[in-house]
Structure 1
Amino acid sequence: MKDLFSTGSQLYQQARPSYPQEVFQEILKHVATKNFAWDVGAGSGQFTQLLAPYFDHIVATDISANQLQLAPYFENVSYQVQTAEKTAFTENSFDLITVAQAIHWFDFEAFYQEVYRTLKPNGVFAVIGYGMIHVEHAAINSLIQSLYFKTLKTYWDVERHYIDEKYTTIPFPFDEIPVTPLKMQYEWNAAQLLKYLSTWSAVKHYQDKNQTSPLVELAESLSHQQTELKIEFPILLRLGHLQTKASKKNKKILGIL
């Protein structure tokens, strides 16, 4: 699992979008018991804090202590520095395991072994994320598209393609649960938009190599923007149960069995 976000943890916490309640309702309607949940790759607790009202106990893990230190306190949440692929949890512990905007950084085979080991037989595994930003303002959206696909093209980590493909190409050795398509919608000012874009890992890679920001042109255009911008992200959501004995092919391929 890569750690790309320890540096700039506070900005990441402030600038990344929050998921709407519809995401939680879509997940929770499939969770029979809400006793114990594990939020993996929790970062600064963006997703954890929204889960907290629904479960008796939650453990949130990340490899970045810097990120976890910024997470909000809840009596029923334990934040722990652990890798996704090897944990200290006991077998059949969790009613729900969630991964929000992080699974593309994991070693799939090792992580799924942990999911199969720690998820209860009737538990739910949820992969959550959000795709490419869309801004209703055509000129600004065009600049963002150019930034993403041209300026930063060679600066994205290879794992980013899983998000571009909307998590449809990640290995998923589970009995999949159909979900309702969802999206996130916001109204952001220019400063909020720039803060979000500055959290992109490729922006950091570009700055480290070139000692200059790739956001200069976009920042200049946004400096003339007086009104709030309508922003939209497609939500990426895949849910599953542990596979039954009748559907073991994918598990064998991944080495889970």
Structure 2
Amino acid sequence: MRTGRGPLFLRRADGWLLPLEVERWCARADPADLAILDRCEGAVLDVGCGPGRLVAELAARGRTVLGIDVSEAAVAHTLELGGQALRRSVFDPLPGEGRWATVLLIDGNVGIGGDPLALLRRAAALLVPGGLLIAETVPVDVDERAEVEVVDLSGARGTGRAFPWARLGTPALLRYAAREDWRAAGQWTAGGRCFVALRSRSARSSADPPKSTAVISSQWARNPSAERPVADR
């Protein structure tokens, strides 16, 4: 992530390797990415933002956008590009909960946590009622969960920290979404990649009305330093 070059992989316990597209993630937003961003509504939360190409592009458009990632290097890179980012898990407390208009789960991030239902519930809690979730899916019909580790080219040297991950094709994601009362709002492919748009439930149990998205940008501190992530809150 720091050098902008791979290769890196996710390795399962059985030795199977999933390539990570480090060079693409560290490049500028490509046409497939731009098609995603054109669909975004209101304030955008990019979950697992990586080195921040989507956050930076939305910020350049004058949009309210925040990236979150558990990688310090990813957050630092996003800040260098002029985007706002926090080093935080999606399951941690986040600014503007219940007031984001769009949540992004791109570059395989629909697999975060290895539990699609839990991730969909969390996304619904982050969004305004009727908010938009845009997720990238695997371009085959797959539904699998595994413990994985990030490893280098040889597959021999890794982080030593296994974590749960999931891989979902579009049919699997739509099945999970239906169980959580999400409404399908679109499917498309671009650049060999597959995407799904979902709408959250239009009503919540909370009696508190959603606040204006205009206040979301004040929920985190601006930090021009590329050496230190924005402080946790």
TM-score band by shorter chain is 0.5 to 0.7
CA contact (8 A) 2:135 2:196 kept: yes
The aligned counterpart of 1:94 is 100
The aligned counterpart of 1:169 is 172
Q: Shift of residue 28 of structure 1?
A: 3.5
Q: Shift of residue 82 of structure 1?
A: 0.9
Match of 2:5, SS state, is helix
CA RMSD of aligned residues (A): 3.6
The aligned counterpart of 1:44 is 51
Q: Shift of residue 87 of structure 1?
A: 2.5
Change (3 A) 1:69 1:123: same
Change (3 A) 1:57 1:73: farther
* Partners of 1:85 and 1:108 in 2: CA distance: 13
Match of 1:103, SS state, is helix
How does the TM-score come out when normalised to structure 2? 0.56
Q: Deviations over 1:65-118 (max 9, x none)?
A: 12222225455x321011112322333221111011122133333332322222
CA contact (8 A) 1:23 1:182 kept: no
Q: Deviations over 1:103-158 (max 9, x none)?
A: 213333333232222211232111025658xxxxxxxxxxxxxxxxxxx9xxxx98
| Pairing 1:113–2:121 present | yes
Alignment-mate amino acid for residue 88 of structure 1? L
Gaps of 5+ in 1: 1-5, 133-151, 185-233, 246-257
| Pairing 1:123–2:126 present | no
| Pairing 1:82–2:40 present | no
Change (3 A) 1:239 1:60: same
Q: Shift of residue 44 of structure 1?
A: 0.9
* Partners of 2:132 and 2:53 in 1: CA distance: 20
Change (3 A) 1:30 1:78: closer
CA contact (8 A) 2:37 2:58 kept: no
Match of 1:10, SS state, is coil
* Partners of 1:121 and 1:167 in 2: CA distance: 23
How does the TM-score come out when normalised to structure 1? 0.51
Larger CA Rg, structure 1 vs 2: 1
* Partners of 1:94 and 1:110 in 2: CA distance: 18
Gaps of 5+ in 2: 7-20, 141-154, 156-162, 204-233
The structure richer in strand per residue is 2
Alignment-mate amino acid for residue 240 of structure 1? L
CA contact (8 A) 1:123 1:242 kept: yes
* Partners of 1:115 and 1:124 in 2: CA distance: 9
Of 31, 47, 59, the match for 1:21:
31
Change (3 A) 1:95 1:53: farther
CA contact (8 A) 2:110 2:166 kept: no
Change (3 A) 1:55 1:242: farther
Number of residue equivalences: 162
Change (3 A) 1:58 1:159: same
